[in-house]
Chain A
Amino acid sequence: MSLPQILFLVVGVITLGAAVAVVTSRNVLHSAFLLALTFFGVAVLYVLLDTPYLAAAQVLVYIGAISVLIIFAIMLSRKVAAPDLVQRNSQWLLSLIVAVLLFGVLAYLTLQTAWPAAKQALGVDAIGGLGEAFVGTYALPFEVVSVVLLVALVGAIIIARER
């Protein structure tokens, strides 16, 4: 095993461990911070897979924005981080079945897919290609997504301002 492979395994274990802890932690705020750790682990995996741009985007969007938003929302809500958070309710069995089924389907699909491997390393111009795709081929979907986000933004402001 080469050094990058060992690193990949170590980071992967940390990421998965953090992800499990997100679900099992009894403190919501701890969960939120562990989620940020998970995101960071994924970003490191991206770096190890030679896609630094995706890694930077992952950190920027998932840690810089989404995690902060989640934590802020938790802090602002009432009864913040109550230590005795109830983790189970009457429907736990049902949700367990659904979760196991979903996991089964995803695992099956993952195993069935023939993952194509790139023949050579990604070119330096990968970002350039990404940018061109955004303003060329996929210009319309890209713009539609921005409009949707804008609408969501305006909607949030209107909800918050209503007194």
Chain B
Amino acid sequence: MLKTETITINMGPQHPSTHGVFRMVLTLNGETIVDLKPMFGYLHRGLEKTSESRTYLQAVPFTDRLDYICSMSNNFAYAVAVEKLAGIEVPLRAEYIRVIMAELTRLVNHMLAVGFLFNDLGAWYTPVVYAFRERERILDLFEMASGSRMMCNYIRPGGVAADLPAEFLPQLRKMIPHLENFVREIRFYLSDNEIFKARAVGVGFLPADMAVAYSITGPVLRASGVKYDVRKAEPYSIYDQFDFDVPTQVAGDVYARYLQRLDEMDESLKILRQAVERIPEGEYATKVPSRLRPPKGEAYARIEAPKGELGFYLVSDGSPNPYRWRNRPPSLINLSALREMCLGHKVADVVTILGSIDITLADVDR
């Protein structure tokens, strides 16, 4: 009876809620989404190709720029890959430092993800400002260790760039209860907000089987109920020595992803507690020549980065430069299910769903 027309809207590349230069071509019927096409590549810097003309060590700062929120995790994954390729042993103290840094990075990332999710929902900067306050404290620790807040370039093949300063561990010890309290506070103030629940429950549902089919990883996958974590599935570094759980949710919607991030923050704090207690004295790095020539061959190493499985695939032809330098970014692959999650929802939900996937455009475009 009534004839309706769809309208096409370009959301982005300049849009406050696309978390960077990302564009979605939305086809709308009224406010309901009929079709969605993600368009990316605006931030492509050719990091993979550039790294192939650098030495193995020179490529470490590039990994900082992949997912600029989690530079430590990126360093970590790359270091593990290079060590696997060249067969380098890492001292135990360095492994502990790495784990501490990786878990702190996870905390930073999840804080921001939760905070910005509320920004996307229209809660005017209040939750995100509190998240930023806690993040700054962790960034202070990063600066103490590496000299830089965000582009840390700290975890290197063979170990870490420098030993922890003397005041680092006492300060971290003090901060752990504080951070635990922060997670509790978020749960208390935000989890039961009825408007938030109305906006998040049942929105952006990603069924477990579809998530696996799209090779989604990280919190998004676990929120759909699949118990998969690289730290448990294929333990790297010294993660097999820590006692922690892999939390999962059931519902697989935006709300489940939010809860999942909070649960993971709790687990990270658990790991941090153990690491701070057990960290041994000793060497912080194995000597690695600056023009490292790994033997001919290839290696793929992956870690559980805050956003999902982060992998590096390196091929060596025996020269100081890698023959192939390939990166598996969690943001890009998690983004691939965006269309399936958004169809049939409203315009406002796209923003929420995108926020709940938690992407960094620098990581998507590389």
Contact = CB atoms under 8 A, between A and B. Distances in A.
A and B touch in the complex (CB under 8 A): yes
Interface in B1-23: 1-2, 5
A119 interface: no
Nearest to A159: B1
Contacts of B2: 159-160, 162
Interface residues of B, number: 3
For the residues of A in contact with B, the DSSP-based class is loop
Contacts of A162: 1-2
A163 B1 contact: yes
A128 to B, nearest CB: 43
Nearest to B5: A78
Contacts, number: 8
The SS class assigned to the B binding surface is loop
A159 B1 CA distance: 7
A125 B1 CA distance: 49
Interface string A56-95: 0000000000000000000000100000000000000000
Contacts of B1: 159-160, 162-163
A78 B2 CA distance: 12
Contacts of B5: 78
A29 B336 CA distance: 42
Nearest to A78: B5
Contacts of A159: 1-2
A160 B2 CA distance: 6
Interface string A87-119: 000000000000000000000000000000000
8 contacts: A78-B5, A159-B1, A159-B2, A160-B1, A160-B2, A162-B1, A162-B2, A163-B1
Interface of B: 1-2, 5
A-B interface, 6 closest residue pairs, ranked by CB to CB distance from nearest: A162-B1, A160-B2, A159-B1, A163-B1, A160-B1, A78-B5
Given A159-B1, A160-B1, 6 more contacts: A78-B5, A159-B2, A160-B2, A162-B1, A162-B2, A163-B1
